[in-house]
Structure 1
Amino acid sequence: MTSQRPDDGPAAQEPDQTAELAPGAIPEDATPPAKKQSRGSFVRELVIIVVIALGLSFLVKTFVVQPYYIPSASMENTLDIGDRILVSKFTPQHSPLHRGDVIVFEAPPSWASDTPADHTPEYKKIVRDALEFLGILPGGGDHIVKRIIGMPGDHVKCCSANGELMVNGVAISEPYIGSNAPSEIPFNITVPAGEVWVMGDNRGDSADSRAHDDGSGGRLGSVPMKDISGQVVAIAWPIDRIQALKSYAYVFAKVPNP
């Protein structure tokens, strides 16, 4: 007869160690519910998102396209007061400018009197300038918008026997000036190297290259190409004026190079 060893019998049951819980109580070893996102974490994520958005806005403004607003009537009826325009930063850095292009440029020192007087409080100027720098607000300030009429070396004269503008001996008909006269101010200039001769489409109300030349033959009135911010490619606002800017390359198609 085989004797039974103590461990051959049925397994002994462990005593119930679970303490009796009061109704609604949570066991000590229960997994706690997921904690809600802390306020600090939310703020950090928000700051990261804002920084990324500002960085992208700055990069777009610096290398792709920048908005500007139109404060005066000098380019009517192509551009009206209050228009928001888009300026390509690829021109002239990566693609050439042409006669007839509408450009935005930084006002040369002698043109400073043409920029509208700014009576904004200083603290508001700081905020505005910062937002313009980041590309959140459209630029303006000391920038001017005009149309290129003469490229470096061009001979520009007003006017022909028929009252038309002449570029390198060729009279041109300018549809973008509407019923305006090509110029009420006679001039005869040669554009210096590395500069352009610019005029507003509203010829009777535009203090452009003509107004600043002071009889210098193009030396004082021309704008250095290094001061050009870019080419106007579209009107972005108001809604009823959203459009790409027309190309008038055909106006100068018969003009020979100097």
Structure 2
Amino acid sequence: MTTDAPAASAPRPIWRRIVGSTWFHLIAAFVVAGLLLTFVAKPYLVPSASMESTLQPGDRLMVNRLAYVGSEPATGDIIVFDADETWGTHATESEPWWKAAARWVGEVTGFGPSGPHTLVKRVIAGPGQVVECCTASGAITVDGVALDETYLGSDFPFEAGTLDCTTEPASLRCFDAVTVPPGSYLVLGDNRANSSDSAAHCRGAPDADDSCWRWATRDDVVGKVSLILWPIGRWGAL
């Protein structure tokens, strides 16, 4: 009496062997993470004290890259943006090749910085809005309406009749009325007296022309700061 030999199992299709491999899973995880960082959310390290006390140097933030899909940054939003050469933040010498390569990988994959110099500031006004400082009480106005800036960590000294926009010298809080250009945003730091921001070169300069202003442009906005990730004691939404 004879018995049939067990049938040999059919070899797995090559696509199943590829999909089931550890290397495929690892590469897929990096691709998914890169897509999330590029198009959805991105971590960001606060580099300076310009946003104190809202943000502290060393805070790790989560930036929502989808926040302005179908909408625009609004007064009061905290945004991360790539600063252009008007901010004076670009190196005068070219980067070493390895830094340039790392930055290119970061820009393509979402891992790493978005541009040569990325800043975090608060939006004060958007395209077409008129901004001026100050009212008799020292407040900034946007389209004639005074802002209630309870978030400020510091501001320049201002005292009506003693050190204001009519005295000589004028308070450094003061700047002439300016209309925000199309596709641009006027951004300031919450630590106003220690912030290199849109108005830094215009303060205390009577009759300064519009060339003193620096803008965050719509194309350079990375996203809206949504929460503080680290340190744990400062974790929370913004």
Q: Same fold (TM over 0.5)?
A: yes
1:156 aligns with 2:131: yes
Quote how far apart the aligned CAs of 1:219 are: 7.9
| Equivalent of 2:221 in 216, 220, 228 | 228
- Contact kept, 8 Å, 2:155 with 2:173, in 1: the verdict is no
SS at structure 2 position matched to 1:85: strand
Quote how far apart the aligned CAs of 1:92 are: 2.1
Distance change (3 Å), C-alpha of 1:127 and 1:191 = closer
1:186 aligns with 2:174: yes
Larger helix fraction of residues: 1
Listed one character per residue, the Cα deviations across residues 111-141 of structure 1 (whole Å, up to 9, x for unaligned) are 1x336999x9653664465357534456675
Matches within 5 A, 1:69-108: 69-108=45-84
Aligned residues: 210
Distance change (3 Å), C-alpha of 1:114 and 1:76 = farther
SS at structure 2 position matched to 1:73: coil
Aligned to 1:4: none
Give the residue type in structure 2 aligned to 1:205: N
Distance across 2 between alignment mates of 1:50 and 1:132:
20
Distance across 2 between alignment mates of 1:126 and 1:172:
43
Distance change (3 Å), C-alpha of 1:101 and 1:217 = same
Normalising by structure 2, we get a TM-score of 0.74
Aligned to 2:10: none
Segments of structure 2 that go 5 or more residues without pairing to the other structure are 6-16, 158-170
Report % sequence identity. Answer: 39
- Contact kept, 8 Å, 1:67 with 1:135, in 2: the verdict is no
Distance change (3 Å), C-alpha of 1:67 and 1:181 = same
- Contact kept, 8 Å, 1:104 with 1:228, in 2: the verdict is yes
Aligned to 1:208: 197
Segments of structure 1 that go 5 or more residues without pairing to the other structure are 1-13, 15-28, 30-40, 246-258
Distance across 2 between alignment mates of 1:139 and 1:174:
29
| Equivalent of 1:165 in 133, 137, 140 | 140
Normalising by structure 1, we get a TM-score of 0.68
Distance across 2 between alignment mates of 1:159 and 1:230:
29
Give the residue type in structure 1 aligned to 2:119: I
Listed one character per residue, the Cα deviations across residues 157-186 of structure 1 (whole Å, up to 9, x for unaligned) are 111111111111122220111343488342
SS at structure 2 position matched to 1:61: helix
